[in-house]
Amino acid sequence: MKDGRVFPTGALPPLDGELSLDAGVRAAAADDFGHVVEKTPLGVLRPASARDVAVVTRWAAENGLKVAARGRGHSTFGRSQVDAGIVVDMAYFDEIHRVGDDRVTVGAGTTWRSVVAATLPDHLTPPVLPNYLDLSVGGTLSVGGIGVSTHQYGMQTDNVCELEVVTGDGEILICSPETNSELFNSVRAGLGQFGVIIRATLTLVPAPDRARTYVLSYADLEGLAADQQLLLRRGGVDHLRGSIVLDDDAWQHQLEIAVLLGADDHPDDDVVLAGLADDRSHAQIDDLSYAEYLEAFDRFTELLCSTGEWADPHPWWMTFLPGSVAVKVAHEVIADLVSEDLGGHGFVVFYPLDKGQITTPLVRMPNEEIVFVFNLVRFASTGPEHVERLLEQNWTLYRRVLTAGGVLYPVSAFPLTPEEWEKHFGSAWPMVREAKGRFDPSRCFTPGYEVF
Ligand SMILES: Cc1cc2nc3c(=O)[nH]c(=O)nc-3n(C[C@H](O)[C@H](O)[C@H](O)COP(=O)(O)OP(=O)(O)OC[C@H]3O[C@@H](n4cnc5c(N)ncnc54)[C@H](O)[C@@H]3O)c2cc1C
């Protein structure tokens, strides 16, 4: 190879697809949405079958190489990258295999946008969706997949019926709660450590026709958190979020809620908003079709593309806080932030969840029933020193959150050592270690997390 590395000569069995050694293809697999880490693989598998992934995995393991699946490349810290090995481009598994009455079967590289496009004509929808629909099914199932309906339905990993997986010794296995359940419980939110998800059968629920959305303003974090928790306890809203933005050196606090509606439903705003202490003169209320509602985040990505921030480095930081200390910790963190810490259109995400619906064993959460999502969505536009400073800040803030009983959402941009991953998984660590030994004995999968 031109970069001096030696490609293994051990004969690679014939493939249905191809293993690309093209420099441009490999360079594309060395980048991701974070633009922070850059590792060039030896080759990129463009698979045409599950068998291709199995063959290449077995061959890689025999030759001491690593393998990482790349969904749609939205990791912020090189998690789908690999230097001494092969990246599997999952975008080639983008088929919608079957839409049933209560489930859909798709290739794991399919985007959630394509899933929704296939199910909405039948008035069906996945119960939990990410705000940004161009993530792959396999990519979010590998980390958990949180959405604004997680308080009702759990994570996306809690809404999976069955998976087809290639394991580290090149076996192609079907797993579900009933069949190969150890594999099923390991690969969901398993950070790609135990197998490559090839195909997923996902739960569907009836889709609403419309959504009425409410954006409410608060003077402070306490007011926002109090009303968020009131709504969480009271029910009556389907989706619940909150964000905090720095506007002209003043923090603005927003509660974002949605009520999902059938064609003939007419929500009573007075009932939905009863008892809330927002500044009602700033309330924004809109009616959208469900499809428009799901695509609302696209307006934001269009804005970021127009400002160039979509292409900037993204040292994002995502955590969960225990409900009892969430306001205190968030206050302390936010008080120390300056506008360059978030960048032009950066923002803080802050909203509560009742974690009762979350049952995926490897989704880690604080040890309280109510937890708060607490994320810094940030854009680093002023060069490498800026990125370096934000990565260090991510680490410092993570220590602060850990001390308060918080937990990392493992899509954040900073490195963890194997010892720190062991602490992250906590009581689930023995399961992680055993599953690694059983399903990836050569430790070839997904080195980008540095779990092992
Ligand atoms: C704009 C934006 C919005 C986001 N919104 C949300 C959100 O609302 N909710 C949420 O939970 N997360 C959200 N995320 C985080 C996102 O879920 C993760 O970054 C996710 O892993 C990205 O999916 P991807 O398909 O791009 O995966 P990639 O970045 O390609 O891969 C991520 C990890 O998953 C592994 N992986 C990918 N596919 C497979 C597979 N088939 N089998 C095994 N391992 C696999 C990779 O090896 C890698 O380790 C968001 C990220 C961005 C950039």
pLDDT of residue 9: 57
Is the CB of residue 196 below 6 angstroms from any atom belonging to ligand 1? yes
Is the CB of residue 241 below 6 angstroms from any atom belonging to ligand 1? no
Distance 139 CA to ligand 1 centre (A): 4
DSSP string, 55-119: HHHHHHHHTT-EEEEESSS--SSSTT--SSEEEEEGGG---EEEE-SSEEEEETT-BHHHHHHHH
pLDDT of residue 284: 97
Query: For the range 281-287, what are the long-range contacts, defined as Cβ-Cβ under 8 Å and sequence gap of 24 or more?
Result: 282/216, 282/217, 283/214, 283/215, 283/216, 283/217, 284/213, 284/214, 284/215, 285/212, 285/213, 285/214, 286/212, 286/213, 287/210, 287/211, 287/212, 287/213
| Amino acid found at 51 | R
Cβ atoms of residues 341 and 280 within 8 Å: no
ipTM above 0.90 for this complex: yes
Phi and psi (nearest 5°) for 187?
Answer: -75, -25
Query: What gap in Å lies between CA 207 and CA 116, rounded to an integer?
Result: 10
Is the CB of residue 214 below 6 angstroms from any atom belonging to ligand 1? no
Domains of the chain: 96-207 (3.30.465.10), 210-408 (3.40.462.10)
pLDDT at 1 > cutoff 80? no
Atom 1 of ligand 1, residue of closest alpha carbon = 132
Is the CB of residue 79 below 6 angstroms from any atom belonging to ligand 1? yes
**pLDDT-based confidence at residue 56 (cuts at 50, 70, 90):** very high
Calculate the CA 298 to chain-centre distance.
17
232's tokens: 């969480």
pLDDT of residue 6: 65
Distance 261 CA to ligand 1 centre (A): 29
Average pLDDT, the chain: 96
Is the CB of residue 132 below 6 angstroms from any atom belonging to ligand 1? yes
Atom 46 of ligand 1, residue of closest alpha carbon = 80
pLDDT of residue 248: 82
153's tokens: 């339905």
Query: What gap in Å lies between CA 338 and CA 342, rounded to an integer?
Result: 7
Query: What gap in Å lies between CA 74 and CA 36, rounded to an integer?
Result: 12
**pLDDT-based confidence at residue 382 (cuts at 50, 70, 90):** confident
Per-residue model confidence as pLDDT tens digits over 171-189 = 999 999 999 999 999 999 9
* β 347-354/239-247 pair status: antiparallel
pLDDT of residue 4: 62
Element (H, E) at 54: helix 50-62
Is the CB of residue 297 below 6 angstroms from any atom belonging to ligand 1? no
Is the CB of residue 85 below 6 angstroms from any atom belonging to ligand 1? no
Is the CB of residue 141 below 6 angstroms from any atom belonging to ligand 1? no
* β 43-46/85-89 pair status: parallel
Per-residue model confidence as pLDDT tens digits over 103-147 = 999 999 999 999 999 999 999 999 999 999 999 999 999 999 999
What is residue 165's three-state secondary structure? strand
Atom 23 of ligand 1, residue of closest alpha carbon = 139
Q: What percent of the chain has pLDDT over 90?
A: 94
